Structure 1
Amino acid sequence: MEDQERQLRLGLVAGLGAYLIWGVIPLYFKQMAHIGPMEIVAHRIVWTPLLLVVVIAFRRQVGSFLGIFRNPRILGALAASSAFIAINWLTFIYAVTTEHILAASLGYFLNPLVSVTLGMAILKERLSRWQGLAVAFAALGVAVLAYDAATTLWISLTVAVSFGFYGLIRKMTPVGSIEGLTVETLILLLPSLGWIFWVGSQGTGNFGADGLSTFLLVFGAVVTAVPLMMFGFAARRLRLVTLGLLQYVGPSLQFVIGVFIYGEALSAAQLICFGFIWAGLILYSLDSARPTRPVPRDVAA
């Protein structure tokens, strides 16, 4: 019993740590505002698999990792998910570096409700009454922003939908989170290297330009891999309800950072939209607390 309680505490610390990192990650990417989003993402893709391969070897998962390349169906699924995570990363970093952190945080608030909707539309899952109401609140919030002609609505929707489809594909693909992310980044490796060499040849690349920029670009691998591994540790030890509540820590911190640290303006339409989204999330969380659902296996930021 004591060991079980210890594992729960460790899981809670790891899960909270993962979402805290994802929540404050705008502070990190903001330091690279002088670097183009494409170059940041390209370096994130290039350096991440180098770190993850070491982790896979340390965890003795080389066999399962290599087995992915012998399974065309899994490899095809990861090729699709790699496209969605690349879009998600690019949009998020663009939002952070162009002073639209609030739009990005709204996207991650929307994500659980988008995932519920995708489950209904593609996996033929049935929505409960409360889930349906939660999705309706989210739709109302988006409608308010659309009516107000918010120029950043596309950021929120792209972040939410790209990560929603990413999660859907990973849910349907029987592969571990670390091995899967390693393959995804390897799939994107050649075009990423091509972009890095191209901006370098144009004299606009930032790798090697100065020590800080080079360090930040390489350290993106740690920022990518560490919270993912912490989440995986937590997911095996915590109830789904606990994980579901923890997932709002990230976008909440992003919201606070956008408003109170970087002084992003919060319009009336955005405030109303956030209100509808938060109401929907409360309903979603209350509904999730009732039946027991399987623990999600994959998350990436």
Structure 2
Amino acid sequence: MNENQESAMKWGIISGVSAYLLWGLLPLYWKLIDHIPSEEVLAHRIIWSFIFMSSIILILRKHGSFVAEVRAMFKNKKLFAAIIFASLFIATNWYVYIWAVANDQVVQASLGYYINPLVSVLLGVVFLKEKLSKMQTIAVILAFAAVLLLTFSAGVFPVVALGLALSFGLYGLMKKIAVIGTMTGVALESLLVLPFAAIFLFSQHGASASALYVHDPLSVILLLGAGAVTAVPLLLFTAGARRIPLSLIGFLQYIAPTIMLFLGVFLFQEPFTVTHIVAFSMIWVGLMMFTYSRYRQLKKPKVVEQEITLTERKAN
């Protein structure tokens, strides 16, 4: 590895870790405005995400590629449909997460993001006809068993956890179908649901500035900042993903739910019973198996390539 590659790897790791740290700490942000209805927070998040991303696109002079991708979207019905569904799924994910934090369900939210990789794999099997290895199958079964354990022990179905995992998993599925630039994607997804957000806020507050809770300066700042806290981690993640191996990204993705879990248990004093410990342990074992299996799959092409190269050398 030369000096340039080492530098790229270093900045890739810093960017990736920063993204997951910010995602993990987001409950602290939403907790500061949990006095505002979750639906209104979501509406503001959509509106200010679009404004923030549009500003970034203009500052970086990416408006040309943005317009080109928008035109391509309207010409391709499959792409257009995928982006519409992606915007609906990510808006649903944002709402469930904001609601979870406001209603002291951060531990459940962390569970949702722990099982998200396994749910995504399952969606790939169902919709993309992908195949599971034996180890991945066991990992999915362990996650399913953990959800059943929590359901029967508490008598309550973990709606928040599965809602977050499914909405983000389906969002990822749509992103596989709709291959589009990250900045363009976030801006478009926000734009498509922006009219609904604006109509909702107008129905609640009319044309009044009360929609921004101007009587509370901190709330105004936090609502305006909702766009930045949405977009910045995503931009950092994209920068990191381009510079570091996918296998490393796989390990880093567990930083965020781990931080959420610690915040939920130790800061917000949410219940974490013996049943939770058993269920989370089952999921952690499943995730270790899943991650190891993915790592082996990513390594296989390199091994095969090396074997082919050796065979060719011997033949020559």
TM-score interval w.r.t. the shorter chain?
A: over 0.9
Matches of 2:190 and 2:155 in 1, distance apart? 33
1:98 maps to which residue?
A: 103
Equivalent-residue separation in structure 1 for 2:108 and 2:26 (angstroms): 15
- Paired position in structure 2 for 1:287: 293
- Counterpart residue type for residue 244 of structure 1: G
Which residue of 2 is the match for residue 67 of structure 1?
Answer: 68
Q: Which residue of 2 aligns with 1:224?
A: 230
Match of 1:270 among 265, 272, 276: 276
CA RMSD, 1 decimal: 1.6
Q: Equivalents in 1 of 2:49, 2:178: separation in Å?
A: 21
Aligned amino acid, residue 49 of structure 1: F
Unaligned runs of 5+ in 1: 294-301
Query: Does the CA-based 8 Å contact 2:151-2:157 persist in structure 1?
Result: no
Per-residue deviation, 1:103:
0.5
> Deviations for 1:12-35, whole angstroms, at most 9, x for unmatched residues?
000000000000100000001101
* C-alpha separation in 1, matches of 2:38 and 2:106: 14
- 1:161 and 1:28 mapped to 2: Cα distance? 23
CA offset digits 1:151-199 (Å, max 9, x no partner): 3600100000000000010012110111111001001111101111222
Q: Which has the higher helix share?
A: 2
- Counterpart position of 1:26: 27
* Correspondences of 1:147-226 after superposition (within 5 Å): 147-151=152-156, 153-201=158-206, 205-226=211-232
Mean alpha-carbon deviation: is it higher for 22-31 or for 264-273?
264-273
Aligned length, in residue pairs: 293
Report if the CA contact (8 A) 2:86-2:189 is conserved: yes
SS of the residue 2:298 aligns to: coil
What percent of counterpart residues are identical?
Answer: 37
AA matched with 2:6? E
Q: What is the TM-score normalised by the length of structure 1?
A: 0.93
Aligned to 1:36: 37
Q: State the partner residue of 1:298.
A: none
1:108 maps to what in 2?
113
Q: In structure 2, what is the Cα distance between the partners aligned to 1:152 and 1:245?
A: 28
Task: Please name the residue that 1:297 is paired with.
Answer: none
Q: Could you give the per-residue CA deviations for residues 189-247 of structure 1, whole angstroms, max 9, x where no partner exists?
A: 11101111222149984532311111100101110010000000001001011000000
Q: Which has the larger radius of gyration?
A: 2
The 5 A counterparts of 1:7-22 are 7-22=8-23
Mark the CA change 1:63 to 1:253 in structure 2 (over 3 Å): closer, same or farther.
same
User: Does residue 5 of structure 2 align to residue 4 of structure 1?
Assistant: yes
CA contact (8 A) 1:100 1:152 kept: no
- Offset at residue 61 of structure 1 (A): 2.4
- Structure 1: distance between partners of 2:270 and 2:7: 41
Query: Who is 1:296 aligned against?
Result: none
1:248 to 254, 270, 273: 254
Give the TM-score normalised by structure 2.
0.89
| Distance (Å, rounded) in 2 between the aligned partners of 1:6 and 1:283 | 31
Larger mean CA deviation between 202-211 and 72-81 belongs to: 202-211
Change (3 A) 1:133 1:271: same
Letter in 1 for 2:243: R
SS in 2 for 1:158: helix
Query: Shift of the alpha carbon at 1:51?
Result: 1.2
Gaps of 5+ in 2: 300-316
